[in-house]
Structure 1
Amino acid sequence: MTGLDAFTDALDYPMFVVTAAADGEPAGCLVGFASQCSIDPPRFMVWLSTANHTYGVARRASHLAVHVLGHEQKPLAELFGGRTGDDTDKFAEVPWRSGEGGAPVLDGCRAWFVGRVEERVAGGDHVGFLLAPVTHGPPAPLRPPLLRLGDMAGLSPGHPA
């Protein structure tokens, strides 16, 4: 265990589903590495594993959608985190619509926004996508209980990390 592992093991990140579409192909995955990174102008960064099917679609996409999950949405997180788009059509199992730039917007999430990809940043086995928000869903209830990393203990990822 590294010093960073000891540090990050103490954290309980919120979990997000990030979706993308390119060339008519929708993709999405469960993401724990994401954060607002600028107030003015507003920017948000999401990090996608280069081993993930969604990364291959996202690198060709102009926009990504970021969805906040409620604590009760563990089955949705399991679908997007425990199965891979290499062999599963995740979007056949959930209601969604096409958003700005074709980014799939999932119905029923606590909150969501679609961001235009401004930049891609290499970061080891993940690539960061710097997003400029262009549209968003209605505001979520004030600080609802969110799905967190600790809620997903035992999930076997759909691809190697």
Structure 2
Amino acid sequence: MDDDAFETLMASVDQPLVVVTTAAEDERAGCLVGFHAQSSIDSEHYSVWLSKANHTYRTGLRAKHFAVHFLTDRDLALAERFGTTCSAETDKFDGLDVDTDEYAVPLLRDCPNRIVLERIAVLDDGGDHVCLASRVVAAHAGEPFTPLRVSAATHLEPGHPAESRAVHP
């Protein structure tokens, strides 16, 4: 396969970035995610792919609910916070206005465009990311917005290098 062609295609798609948050056993976690999509219309389903290297993935294995916060083109600092540090070592929520929903999921007050998900399945196909197939249990929308896209954040260094993405956790 031509890796350059694949990279060119993916760069052209320029996926929007989101922050995914979750909690399990009073442990909060969150990370920047570029792999996510609506996966059903009726009923509303959404899928998110988490890197196996992320603390959010490990916390998410014990969690049932997640929030997907849709970032705007003004949220680069938030993308940097959740994408370049490790929540096992840093409290990414420190200093942020955070609410907690009825599922104990941390909700970023500065990101009013979000959905709350209930995990219904996990797919590990052997790659470096795992798919969480989920049912949408709540949706909140603010004003229409321009999403922050992958191309605006290519300069960010991930909190975990690609080499640390275990194929088997």
- The question of a shared fold, defined as TM-score above 0.5 by the shorter chain, is answered with yes
Report deviation, 1:9: 2.5
**4+ residue segments displaced more than 6 Å:** none
Structure 1 length-normalised TM: 0.93
SS at match of 1:19: strand
**Aligned positions of 1:1-161 closer than 5 A:** 2=3, 3-123=5-125, 124-137=127-140, 139-142=141-144, 144-161=145-162
Q: 1:15-65 CA deviation, whole Å, 9 max, x = no partner?
A: 000001001000000000000010011100000000111100011101000
Percent pairwise identity: 39
The answer to whether the 8 A contact 2:11-2:151 is kept is: no
Distance 1:5 1:67 in 2: 25
The one-letter amino acid of 1:159's match is H
For 2:165, the equivalent position in structure 1 comes to none
128-137 vs 63-72, greater mean Cα deviation:
128-137
Structure 2, unmatched stretches of 5+, are 163-169
Q: TM-score, normalised by structure 2?
A: 0.89
Number of residue equivalences: 159
Q: CA deviation at 1:110?
A: 4.3
